[in-house]
Amino acid sequence: MNLPELQKKIYNQIVNRDYPSKTAAVYAKKIYDLAQYYTTIKPDELEFDDIKKYINHQWKISKKPANSINLMVSAFKFFFNDLHRKKYSLI
């Protein structure tokens, strides 16, 4: 599955759980960005440390604002904990 297909699939999964379409779009984009960062690993196969490294990179290296980091964490919690039942404690 290529990345745009992945983003669309994630978007549909989020909308099907009665999230607003704007939230679904933002979450799908954040997960898409994560998948672009780790091109050799499928997003649902990432380990907790991989996610922490990505968030840390976005915060410290890319200088993303706090609200962007919070959205990212919420999207990842939904994707990993709700959809894939990983139960990562991201906060």
Q: Residue 5: what pLDDT?
A: 87
With helix as H, strand as E and coil as C, how does 8-64 read?
HHHHHHHHCCCCCHHHHHHHHHHHHHHHHHCCCCCHHHCCHHHHHHHHHHHHHHCCC
How many structural domains compose the chain?
Answer: 1
Residue 91 lies in a domain: no
**Domain at 7, CATH number:** 1.10.150.130
Please indicate, yes or no, if residue 90 is contained in any of the structural domains.
no
Residue 89 placed within a domain: no
81 confidence band (pLDDT: 50, 70, 90): confident
Q: Which domain holds residue 51?
A: 3-83
Q: Which pLDDT tens digit goes with each residue over 42-73?
A: 888 999 999 999 999 999 999 999 999 999 99
Q: Cα(39)–Cα(42) distance, rounded to whole angstroms?
A: 7
Within 8 A by CB and 6+ apart from 74, the residues are: 27
